[in-house]
Structure 1
Amino acid sequence: MRRLALAAALATTLAVATVPVTAHAWGVRAHAVIDRAAIQAIPNDGPVFLRRHVDYIAASASLPDTWRDDAEGFSKIAEDPNHGWFREQFTFLRPIPRSRHEFVLALYRRYLAIKDADPATAARTNVRWTGTLPYAAVEAYQRLIVCMRAVRAARASGGDVSVPEQQCAFEAILLGHYIGDGSQPLHVSIHSDGWRGANPNGYTRDRSIHGRFESRFVDAIGLTTADIAPRIGAPANRQGDMFDAVLAFLDTSGNRLERVYQLEKRDGFANANDKDVRALVYERAAVGAAMLRDMLCRAWAESAVPPAKVSPSPLDPSNPRFNPETGSAPA
């Protein structure tokens, strides 16, 4: 508990700091900035009650990373994949399953199919080295809808809104973390910690690139909400399926991967005054904040509508999409 309290206090400081300090990865300074900027950008017809909880949300922005310590094995095994989406690993899989469990099973089948012919690829064809980030994000998003319905119900009945609001704030922390991770291109590739495999452009294979970009450089420039707020833009009218929207968001982020490596090759992120690296950090953080803001607003709009009746239940074997291997029908 002491470690979590210290981490929360540090994150609060970093969220408003304007001078470089020591931090630990995108998950401290940039995550706090992304969350705070997203909530500040919520329009007046959105879930503005989250503004009352913005300090708690920003201070806790790195909470999911604290669940990944080697000492807490069960938590680490469950949480680690939620922070990545190594899309080169599952080009064989189209469309992407709308079930976390079906995705994991598909990976295992692929592993069995290639383990003898291509053991090197097979060794990383598993849930840890492919990631489950879009599932974690949409799961948090849908729990937010449920919490927001409870906020609306409490308001309508004249009840206490504090508890459902706090529940929403907690889910916003989770959603914000996963979306923040997804906005960082190194979270959306097998090249997350140095270039892997064929390397015709001579990009670094140094594993420290991840931390040098998202932590050391971000801290050196003292990233603040003021840096990205003008870049967030007006709320987007995000229609359609949210899972598909998150997948598209991740693809866009992954398409910026080589830009990270090209800039690293120039000076290794050693120059805090490098305007091109600054521009990339500002762009990626602003994109993350915009996506988070839009998902929070979309969840609030959806919470105004009673939940749809699904019949038969996804857990009912008579459901035409029921998968006996997972015990459920996909979403």
Structure 2
Amino acid sequence: MRFRSLILSLALASGAFASHEAFAWGDTGHRLVGEEAMRALPKGLPAFLYRVQSIKDVGQFSREPDIWRKAGAIHDAERDPAHLMRLDDTGLTLAGTDLGNMPATHSDYDAAVRAHGGDPIKAGHLYYSLSDAWAQVRKDFGVMRVIDLAIAKEKDKPKLADLKEALRRRQDLTLRDIGILSHYAGDATQPMHVSIHYDGWGDLPNPDGFTTEHVHWPVEGPYVHDHVTQAMVHDRVSPLTSCAGTQESCIAARLKRNWTQVVPLYKLEKTGAFKPDSNVGAEYLATLLGRGASDLRDMVADAWTQSTDAVVNSAGVSVTDVTSGKVKDLYAVVMGDS
């Protein structure tokens, strides 16, 4: 415990914790994650998701959380830590918890970080931003299911026109929300985003002599832009894997998996693999981006299959209430005043 406390204190004081300015993957990487996930969606999801324009939209929306930066102190203090999750060299969070045993809410986690002597802003909360973004996509799909049912039943032409507009709006919102989920799924697969060694090894025990220079942005931004192609990422998207437990448990497992790549990344960096004139690191980074696309594809597919009982309005009506016939006025459910 003394050693771990020393590591925590050094990490909080080190340059590795000083900045939230770096962007995971840059515009190129985030766009590739979003687009390749959409291209890999399984059959059976809503048809609009497979449109060429939808794929492009998700790719562009995937950049949004980085575009949000520097909007103001209140805004940034809440959103900047969403991109990262500091895990120490034993794989524990800065609240002293294992990813498999996280506090129930973001607020609970912040309190646990403070109780452990840390700063929640520096600790990050990527686990919660991923969980939140996934829940929103699931909600979107649930609302869409009810709108589709309402359209199929509605005979009144003005009401039918309203419902079709509601569907268009929900589709647009869903693409945007998938883009936000895409961003955080991409962040999670950049190993430095899930480590106390965020931008160089920092002023921490360093027996392997890893770099202490600011390598975060050069690796994920310019290097990816110049050396990683769409085809490379496309070829590394894995087969569909549905989450066997809760979505939160699967998010935790993915973050822990990605954390195991921190040392391999720094070992590669030490060999010069990410130098501007080297192609050596491109295959490795393409593999990580392909993993991000695979994770996003899996989460979107899970959100659709698990949206069959989602609550769809402020009155607490669920998809199950509608499909069971408990609720008759579907127009009111969709448009309000139900």
Q: Give the TM-score category using the shorter length.
A: 0.7 to 0.9
- Structure 1 partner of 2:9: none
Cα deviation code 1:220-277 (max 9, x no counterpart): 11x33321222212211222111111111011111001111111111161155433x1
- Structure 1 partner of 2:48: 49
Higher mean C-alpha deviation, range 35-44 or range 126-135 = 126-135
- Structure 2 partner of 1:205: 212
Does the 8 Å CA contact 2:31/2:62 hold for their aligned counterparts?
yes
Equivalent residue letter for 2:68: W
Equivalent residue letter for 1:43: P
Higher-Rg structure is 2
User: Out of 119, 128, 131, which is 1:138 matched to?
Assistant: 131
- Structure 1 partner of 2:284: 280
Please show how residues 201-280 of structure 1 align to structure 2 within 5 Å: 201-207=208-214, 209-221=215-227, 223-267=228-272, 269-275=274-280, 277-280=281-284
Cα deviation code 1:262-308 (max 9, x no counterpart): 11111161155433x11211110011000000000000001123449
User: Out of 97, 122, 125, which is 2:103 matched to?
Assistant: 97
Higher mean C-alpha deviation, range 125-134 or range 43-52 = 43-52
Does the 8 Å CA contact 2:95/2:109 hold for their aligned counterparts?
no
1:242 and 1:99 mapped to 2: Cα distance?
14
Does the 8 Å CA contact 2:95/2:116 hold for their aligned counterparts?
no
1:59 and 1:237 mapped to 2: Cα distance?
25
CA-CA distance at 1:49 after TM superposition: 2.2
Does the 8 Å CA contact 1:107/1:126 hold for their aligned counterparts?
yes
Aligned-CA RMSD value: 1.9
Cα deviation code 1:95-142 (max 9, x no counterpart): 21121110000111112xxxxxxxxxxxxx211221100101111111
Does the 8 Å CA contact 1:32/1:62 hold for their aligned counterparts?
yes
Q: 1:258 to 1:144 in 2, by over 3 A?
A: same
TM-score, normalised by the number of residues in structure 2: 0.75
CA-CA distance at 1:43 after TM superposition: 1.2
Equivalent residue letter for 1:227: M
Does the 8 Å CA contact 1:25/1:216 hold for their aligned counterparts?
no
1:203 and 1:267 mapped to 2: Cα distance?
12
- Structure 2 partner of 1:314: none
1:107 and 1:25 mapped to 2: Cα distance?
23
Higher RCO (C-alpha 8 Å, min separation 6): 2
CA-CA distance at 1:59 after TM superposition: 1.6
Equivalent residue letter for 2:241: A
CA-CA distance at 1:54 after TM superposition: 1.8
Higher mean C-alpha deviation, range 42-51 or range 140-149 = 42-51
Equivalent residue letter for 1:198: P
Give the 3-state SS of the residue equivalent to 1:42 in structure 2: coil
1:287 and 1:29 mapped to 2: Cα distance?
15
2:273 and 2:55 mapped to 1: Cα distance?
34
User: Out of 152, 162, 187, which is 2:193 matched to?
Assistant: 187
Q: 1:106 to 1:306 in 2, by over 3 A?
A: closer
Q: How many residues align?
A: 269
1:231 and 1:305 mapped to 2: Cα distance?
33
- Structure 1 partner of 2:174: 168
CA-CA distance at 1:65 after TM superposition: 1.1
User: Out of 139, 146, 149, which is 2:142 matched to?
Assistant: 149
Does 2:293 align with 1:289?
Answer: yes
Structure 1 moving runs of 4+ over 4 Å: none
Does the 8 Å CA contact 2:94/2:116 hold for their aligned counterparts?
no
Give the 3-state SS of the residue equivalent to 2:205 in structure 1: coil
Does the 8 Å CA contact 1:149/1:303 hold for their aligned counterparts?
yes
Among all aligned residue pairs of Structure 1 and Structure 2, give the percentage whose two residues are the same amino acid. 26
CA-CA distance at 1:48 after TM superposition: 4.3
CA-CA distance at 1:206 after TM superposition: 0.6
CA-CA distance at 1:185 after TM superposition: 0.4
1:292 and 1:33 mapped to 2: Cα distance?
11
1:45 and 1:292 mapped to 2: Cα distance?
17
> Which segments of 5 or more consecutive residues in structure 2 lack a partner in the other structure?
1-21, 152-162, 313-338
> Which segments of 5 or more consecutive residues in structure 1 lack a partner in the other structure?
1-22, 112-124, 309-331
